[in-house]
Amino acid sequence: MRRTRRLKSTVGLTAVLAVGCIPASDDSPFEVTEASIAELQEAMSAGQVTSADLVDAYLARIAAYDRDGPALNTIVRVHPGAREQAERLDQERIGGNVRGPLHGIPVLLKDNYDTFDMPTTGSTLALAGSVPPDDAFQVARLREAGAVILAKTNLHELAAGITSISSLGGQTRNPYAPRRNPGGSSGGTGAAVTASFGAIGWGSDTCGSIRIPSSVHNLVGLRPTKGLSSIDGIIPLSHTQDTGGPLARSVADLAVALDATVGVDDKDPATRALRGRALPRFMDSLDPQALSGARIGAFEAWLGESMAERPVTQVVRAALDAMVTAGADVMDVTIPDLDSLLARTGMIGLEFQTDFGAYVAATPGIPVSGLPEIVELGLHHEQMDDTFQRRTSDEARDEDEYQAVLARQAELRRALVAFMDENDLDAIAYPTLRQEPEVIGTAALGTSLRGAQVSSCFLAAHSGLPAISAPAGFTERALPVGIELMGRPFSDARLIALAYALEEATSRRRPPSRTPPLVYGVAPRPENIVVNAASTGPGSVTILDGLLELDVPGGTLDFSIEASGVAPEEVHAIVLQRRSGDAPHTVVSRLAGPGQAVAAGSLELSSIMLADLLDGRLELAVYTTAHPLGAVTITIDASGESPIEGG
Domain count across the chain: 2
Assign 3-class secondary structure to 311-355.
Answer: HHHHHHHHHHHHHHHCCCEEEEECCCCHHHHHCCCCCHHHHHHHH
Of all residues in the chain, the percent with pLDDT exceeding 90 is 84
Identify the domain containing residue 547 by its residue range. Answer: 4-22+524-637
Give domain status of residue 518, yes or no.
Answer: no
Instruction: Note the pLDDT of residue 28.
Output: 55
Catalytic residue list contains 110: yes
Beta-bridge mates of residue 96 = none
47-to-98, 271, 519 alpha-carbon distances in Å = 13, 39, 22
Q: Are residues 13 and 60 in the same domain?
A: no
Q: If you write DSSP's letter for every residue of 527-542 in order, what string do you get?
A: EEEEEEEEEEETTEEE
222 has pLDDT over 60: yes
Instruction: Note the pLDDT of residue 3.
Output: 42
Helices (H), 464-602: 492-506
Instruction: Note the pLDDT of residue 576.
Output: 95
Backbone angles phi, psi at 481, to 5 degrees: -130, 140
Give domain status of residue 646, yes or no.
Answer: no
* From 110, 196, 230, 513, the catalytic residue: 110
Cα–Cα distance for residue pair 335/429, rounded to 1 Å: 12
Decide: 206 and 238 in contact? Cβ < 8 Å. Answer: yes
Backbone angles phi, psi at 15, to 5 degrees: -75, 140
When pLDDT is cut at 50, 70 and 90, the band that residue 640 belongs to is: very low
* From 51, 130, 167, 209, the catalytic residue: 209
Beta-bridge mates of residue 562 = 545, 598
Backbone angles phi, psi at 65, to 5 degrees: -125, -10
Decide: 58 and 65 in contact? Cβ < 8 Å. Answer: no
212 has pLDDT over 50: yes
Give the CATH number of the domain where residue 117 resides: 3.90.1300.10
Beta-bridge mates of residue 580 = 583
Q: Are residues 133 and 226 in the same domain?
A: yes
Instruction: Note the pLDDT of residue 473.
Output: 97
Give domain status of residue 49, yes or no.
Answer: yes
Assign 3-class secondary structure to 371-430.
Answer: HHHHHHHCCCCHHHHHHHHHHCCCCCCCHHHHHHHHHHHHHHHHHHHHHHHHCCCCEEEE
Q: Are residues 451 and 600 in the same domain?
A: no
Cα–Cα distance for residue pair 543/560, rounded to 1 Å: 14
Q: Which residue has the higher pLDDT, 228 or 450?
A: 228
Average pLDDT over residues 517-532: 90
Last residue of a domain, one of 454, 474, 506: 506
15 has pLDDT over 60: no
Q: Are residues 197 and 77 in the same domain?
A: yes
Q: Which of 301, 237, 296 is nearest to 459 (CA)?
A: 301
Q: What is the pLDDT of residues 415-445, one digit of tens each?
A: 999 999 999 999 999 999 999 999 998 855 4
Give domain status of residue 322, yes or no.
Answer: yes
Instruction: Note the pLDDT of residue 453.
Output: 46
Give domain status of residue 643, yes or no.
Answer: no
Q: Are residues 594 and 617 in the same domain?
A: yes
Give the CATH number of the domain where residue 554 resides: 2.60.40
Catalytic residue list contains 185: yes
Q: Are residues 377 and 305 in the same domain?
A: yes
Decide: 382 and 149 in contact? Cβ < 8 Å. Answer: no
Beta-bridge mates of residue 75 = 153
Q: Are residues 261 and 195 in the same domain?
A: yes
Cα–Cα distance for residue pair 523/516, rounded to 1 Å: 8
Give domain status of residue 31, yes or no.
Answer: no
* From 185, 204, 230, 469, the catalytic residue: 185
Q: What is the pLDDT of residues 395-407, one digit of tens each?
A: 788 999 999 999 9
Q: Are residues 442 and 550 in the same domain?
A: no
Letter for the amino acid at 28?
S
Give domain status of residue 484, yes or no.
Answer: yes
Mean pLDDT of the chain: 91
